[in-house]
Amino acid sequence: MAARKRYWLMKSEPGDFSIDDLQRVGTEPWTGVRNYQARNFMRQMQVGDGVLFYHSNCEVPGIYGIGEVVSAPYPDKTQFDRKSKYFDEKATREQPRWDLVDVGYVRHLERALPLDEIRTHADALGEEFALIRKGSRLSVLPVTAAQWKLLLSLE
């Protein structure tokens, strides 16, 4: 029996890597996650899971596109690279600390869903929707099937 499809929201600063970049390259390793809770979410991801591609730290933060998890989790090589800003001196190849998944491009949204607009649907999204919860700054967040459907209905 196939595992049930899950959904995620993954944040990226568009100056570093945008939905346009993902469209251009097709598939990209989601490197640089250095928060244990976000890493643990990535460790739960499975090939075929849906991804809401969120632009953060920009003029209009919001959801700009859809991706898909296209690999099982595996060690993030940047943790071993001394020249990388994501280098972790405590990580070893025998005991890596940080994992990633490859994300593939699916499509741009018909229109971006700005964070301010998403907040107006807080009641329908529920208090467990971490993106609009105060103090939540994770770069990888779970999204329920109902939240996914609601958000995509707004485009």
CA angle 54, 103, 91 (to 5 degrees): 100
Q: What is the mean pLDDT of the chain?
A: 95
Q: Can you read off the two tokens belonging to residue 41?
A: 């979410």
Alpha carbon 52 to chain centroid, angstroms: 7
Per-residue pLDDT reduced to its tens digit, 21-37: 999 999 999 999 999 99
| Closest among 137, 139, 126, 57 to 148, alpha carbons compared | 126
Q: How confident is the model at residue 1 (pLDDT cuts 50, 70, 90)?
A: low
The arithmetic mean of pLDDT across residues 87-106, rounded, is: 96
Distance CA 23, CA 36 (A): 28
pLDDT of 2: 60
Distance CA 141, CA 49 (A): 13
Quick: pLDDT tens for 97-136. 999 999 999 999 999 999 999 999 999 999 889 999 877 7
Residue holding tokens 């971490």? 130
CA distance 52 to 64: 8
pLDDT at 12: 96
Q: What average pLDDT does the segment 67-90 reach?
A: 96
Residues of the chain above pLDDT 90, percent: 91
Q: pLDDT per residue over 7-23, tens digit each?
A: 999 999 999 999 999 99
